């Protein structure tokens, strides 16, 4: 049943690509619209979101719209929620994914929307390793820009500063370095890799605070993935999470021994450079990109047989919190 469904309507080229993300509807407006943003009328074409109108004027409140890309049909992922604005008809909405409807009145300065942008930007920072001085994107980072423009001085929830919580740096590819501690999960790289390049390498995986970008073939490192090193993901990444090799230390303060790698502490190296195999680094001569079909749902199997009184046992939960300690 469900497995049949997944065959339906999947263009042959993308069959087997499993980015792990939801199929969003088209969020643009049906027709051209005139929208009032902070008192200024703006006319935007069909297919526009409120952010298109917001971007066209000098707004009263700063709207970081951090995860928005707006090119190459990438996004809107609409995950950072630093683009919340107040509308007269629908209350506080995310500008980047809300259709621009004719007659909409937008207020960027409204307290609840401004507070939401502010808190959400701090929430992004709370999960971000803010070691800018050793970051290859220092000075050309969209998160840095947004934080400066927003006037962030002391993020409410701090920053990701606990080395024990850091994910190892993935330095295994000869072309691209991944520092997931700087990832804001904007999904741009996943879309670039799957929807633009149609390579089917990157995916979103995990849930809750374990959500991360990973590889569709299940590899732990870039080297073992099916990456063809086209570099598209690097060009769309807003932060220092995906950086081209060779410039990962370009902006590091010139003190010997002070670099991106030791800012993290743990690194996946290229297996060639660690001498564990005689082959050339996989990323140089990618041979057989094995695209895995992950579009299967284990639940497709018949539900497990059970003869106990299972229906009205509302206490049954998958996740048993009671078994773990608190605080």
Partner 1 sequence: MFRTDKMNSIESSERTVVRVAAAGSEADPPEAVKRTDARVVPVGSTGVTALEPLVAVTRGGRTAFHARCSVDRLEGVVAAAEEADDVTAGDPDAVVDHDPDATRLPAVDLPGLSAGRRDVLGACGWRRPTSADDHEAAGGFADHDAADVFDAGADLRGRGWGDACHDDPVGESWATARDADGDAAVVVNAHGSPADALLLASAPLEVLDGATTLADAVGATEVVVYASSDDARAVETAREAVEAHPDPVVPVEVVTGPPEYRAGEPTMALEAIEGNHRLEARLRPPGPERVGLDGRPTLVHTPRTLAHLAVGLRGDDGDEGGDTRLVTVRGDVETPATVELPETASLSAAVDAVDVDGTLKAACVGGRFGGLTADLGVAAGPDALADAGLGTEGVVEVLSEGRCLVEFVGRRTRYAAEENCGRCVPCREGSTQLANLLRDVYDGEYDPEGVAELVGVMERSSICEFGVNAGRPARTATTEFALEFEAHADGQCPAGNCFDAREAPEVTTST
Of 4-23, binders to ligand SF4 (CB under 6 A) are none
Q: Can you name the residues that pair with 213 across neighbouring β-strands?
A: 204
CB of 212 to ligand FES, least distance (A): 18
Q: Tokens 């069959």 map to which residue? A: 15
Q: Restricting to residues 122-181, name those near ligand SF4 by CB under 6 A.
A: 176
Q: In the complex with ligand SF4, which residue's Cβ is closer, 174 or 229?
A: 229
- CA–CA gap between residue 54 and residue 95 (Å, rounded): 8
CB of 189 to ligand SF4, least distance (A): 3
Q: DSSP E strands: which ranges in the chain? A: 33-37, 40-44, 84-87, 91-94, 105-107, 169-171, 176-178, 202-205, 212-215, 242-244, 267-269
Among 38, 86, 171, 199, the residue binding ligand SF4 under the rule CB under 6 A is 199
The backbone region for 315, taken as left when phi is positive above 0, alpha when psi lies in -120 to 50, beta otherwise, is alpha
DSSP string for residues in 234-249: HHH-SSTTEEETT-TT
CB of 245 to ligand SF4, least distance (A): 11
Tokens of 236: 């769309």
- CA–CA gap between residue 104 and residue 107 (Å, rounded): 10
Characterize the bridge pairing of strands 202-205 and 84-87: unpaired
Q: In the complex with ligand SF4, which residue's Cβ is closer, 150 or 187?
A: 187
Which residues here bind ligand FES, judged by CB under 6 A?
Answer: 65-68, 78-83, 94, 96
CB of 17 to ligand FES, least distance (A): 24
Residue 237 binds which of ligand SF4, partner 1, ligand FES, none (CB < 5-8 A, kind-dependent): ligand SF4
CA 255 → CA 130, 132, 133, 260, 261, distances in Å? 18, 15, 11, 12, 14
Identify which range of 1-9, 31-39, 182-190, 245-253 contacts ligand SF4 by CB under 6 A: 182-190
Other beta carbons within 10 angstroms of residue 252's beta carbon come to 17
CB of 308 to partner 1, least distance (A): 6
- CA–CA gap between residue 35 and residue 53 (Å, rounded): 7
Q: In the complex with ligand FES, which residue's Cβ is closer, 55 or 272?
A: 55
CB of 118 to ligand FES, least distance (A): 14
Is residue 63 within 8 Å of residue 85, measured between CB atoms?
yes
Asked if 72 is part of the footprint of ligand SF4 (rule: CB under 6 A), the reply reads no
Q: In the complex with ligand FES, which residue's Cβ is closer, 17 or 113?
A: 113
Residue 65 binds which of ligand SF4, partner 1, ligand FES, none (CB < 5-8 A, kind-dependent): ligand FES
Q: Tokens 């598209």 map to which residue? A: 232
CB of 216 to ligand SF4, least distance (A): 10
Q: Would you tell me which residues interact with ligand SF4 (CB under 6 A)?
A: 176, 183-189, 192-193, 197, 199, 201-202, 213, 227-233, 236-239, 241-242
């Amino acid at each position: 049943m469900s497995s049949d469904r997944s065959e339906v309507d999947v263009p042959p080229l993308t069959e087997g690509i499993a980015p792990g993300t939801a199929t969003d509807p088209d969020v643009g407006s049906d027709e051209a619209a005139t929208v009032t943003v902070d008192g200024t009328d703006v006319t935007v074409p069909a297919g526009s979101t409120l952010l298109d109108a917001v971007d066209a004027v000098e707004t009263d409140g700063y709207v970081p719209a951090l995860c928005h890309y707006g090119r190459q049909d990438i996004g809107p992922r609409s995950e950072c929620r630093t683009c919340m604005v107040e509308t007269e008809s629908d209350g506080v909405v995310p500008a980047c994914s809300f259709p621009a409807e004719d007659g909409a009145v937008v207020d960027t300065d409204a307290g609840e929307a401004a507070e939401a942008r502010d808190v959400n930007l701090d929430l992004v920072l709370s999960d971000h390793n803010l070691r800018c001085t050793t970051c290859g994107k220092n000075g050309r980072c969209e998160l840095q820009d947004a934080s400066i423009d927003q006037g962030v001085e002391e993020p409410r929830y701090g920053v990701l500063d606990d080395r024990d919580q850091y994910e190892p740096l993935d330095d295994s590819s000869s072309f691209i370095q991944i520092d997931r501690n700087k990832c804001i999960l904007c999904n741009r790289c996943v879309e670039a890799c799957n929807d633009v390049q149609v390579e089917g390498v990157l995916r979103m995986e995990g849930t809750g605070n374990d959500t991360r970008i990973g590889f569709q073939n299940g590899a732990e490192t870039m080297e073992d993935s099916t990456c063809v090193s086209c570099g598209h993901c690097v060009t769309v990444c807003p932060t220092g999470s995906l950086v081209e090799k060779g410039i990962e230390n370009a902006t590091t303060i010139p003190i010997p021994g002070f670099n991106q790698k030791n800012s993290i502490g743990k690194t996946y190296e290229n297996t060639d450079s660690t001498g564990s195999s005689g082959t050339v680094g996989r990323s140089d001569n990618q041979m057989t990109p094995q695209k895995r079909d992950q579009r299967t749902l284990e639940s497709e199997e018949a539900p497990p047989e059970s003869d106990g009184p299972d229906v009205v046992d509302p206490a049954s939960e998958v996740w048993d919190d009671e078994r773990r300690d608190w605080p």
